[in-house]
Amino acid sequence: MKTLPVFLFLAGGVALAQEGLLSVDQILSKYVEGLGGKAAIEKVKSRSAKGSMELTDYGVTASIETFAKAPNHSISITTVEGYGVVREAFDGQVAWTDNPERGISEAKGVELDQRRRGSDMYRALHFKDGYQSMAVTGKQAVGGRDAFVVEATPAEGKPEKFLFDAESGLLVQVEAERPTENGPMKATTTLADYKEVDGVKVPMTMKLQSQALNFVLRFSEVKTNVDIDDAKFKKPGQ
């Protein structure tokens, strides 16, 4: 009986090899190296970015600024002409949104967990931490290139799919169910145009497609290790 786990492990490894797949650990390790390596990632303590967002359903363009600070603080500030300013933030504990229609609200449950994972400055270094299990489910084409598909199951909510370019190792697409005002909806986010900024590659273009919203985000400026006051991430009134 003691040899059974070893046999199963070897059998699983052979199956992956026969299908031309890597293991979860191999894919995540290649992702870290593709970004620039562990040492380079850890040197980044904060990051700011500016860009524009095209809301393709409405023919509207917005400006956007994002700020992130280690270990897990983030905020995006989107200004839409004729609508106003939308802010989405996580201060390490509280995930909040402020928009002209609903005012200030806090995320709970699945949405809070998703925002917490997404705000981790060093997520690439401990990608597994936010999930109960992860498994390689095959390959899929993204932009005409092969990508390894990793399915990650969180403690709450539906499994999420992460697609990593088979050659570069970089994350190129995320498929997940996102909470919205009209209930959960599937969303696909495509990441492209990676650019090296102070030793770490950053996606300069992000495209989101869902039933609720479609947009293309293009960053024009990214800076690292900038001074950011923690107060910037706090919910108004705290």
Give the CA dihedral 147, 131, 216, 98, nearest 10 degrees: 180
DSSP for 123-162?
Answer: GGGGGGGG-SEEEEEEEEEETTEEEEEEEEE-SSS--EEE
Contact of 218 with 208, CB cutoff 8 Å: no
Gap between the Cα atoms of 112 and 90, Å rounded: 9
pLDDT on residue 17: 55
- Other CB atoms within 10 A of residue 123 CB: 15
Ordered per-residue pLDDT tens for the chain, 238 residues: 333 444 333 444 545 554 689 999 999 999 999 999 999 999 999 999 999 999 988 889 999 999 999 999 999 999 998 899 999 999 999 999 999 999 999 999 999 999 999 999 999 999 999 899 999 999 999 999 999 999 999 998 999 999 999 999 999 999 999 877 777 889 999 999 999 999 999 999 999 999 878 999 999 999 999 999 999 999 998 7
User: Would you call the peptide bond into 71 cis, given omega within 30 degrees of 0 as the criterion?
Assistant: yes
Residue the block writes with tokens 């497609």: 209
**CATH code, residues 25-233:** 2.50.20.10
Residue 216, both tokens: 């293309």
Contact of 51 with 218, CB cutoff 8 Å: yes
Gap between the Cα atoms of 179 and 232, Å rounded: 25
* Domain spans of the chain, in order of start: 25-233
Non-local CB neighbours of 17 within 8 Å, separated by 6+ positions = none
pLDDT on residue 11: 42
HSE value, Cβ hemisphere, 13 Å, CA-based, for 142: 27
pLDDT on residue 178: 83
> CA angle at residue 55 from 49 to 57, to 5 degrees?
165
